[in-house]
Structure 1
């Protein structure tokens, strides 16, 4: 994900556009006025996610994180593979949070897993 920010001063950034896709597509989407002279700056932001999946057939939650797109990660979970989510194709994303990096997403995963409480997880999802 590439975000275009306008900055009146270095500590006061304001997002004014988001662009996605291949590097060529992103380049084509950029406003022409984005330059050093105009005070606009470009940042490449890696979106990572903390996510909770649910399987109706297992009646279980899966808690994880990824820096892939959620759609691609869900596709992998629903594919035929070994592991906790393998063998079933009914996993669905019931909750997610976007994080600025993998470390932050992983830390959130560890916090939620430490709850060891279905009730707390269901409260998080419902809020």
Structure 2
């Protein structure tokens, strides 16, 4: 009889913890959906502002995460986000930045990136899929 009571007690604890976890997961998923909706609204406002400052074609390219030669740094940040790593250098009067996106680890635990974008004086001059 004592074993049965012990079993029921632990089963009840387990069920209680499972219910709490599910409630936490549901609340977190709702918060994530709300944040994604807010992000989409903000991005739409930013794209509309880009079309007034630059033009509609550039705004559409930014919204599609496209990169082009001569792209200003601020539009690159809007299109691709903050880089995972940035390496700065200079040559004569030219400031050079290499922005790396899409960080991942190899089987040997080395850090690699999927995209390298090179900027000179805050304008895109090249990019390479790595």
TM-score, scaled relative to structure 1: 0.23
Higher helix share: 2
Larger radius of gyration: 2
TM-score, scaled relative to structure 2: 0.22
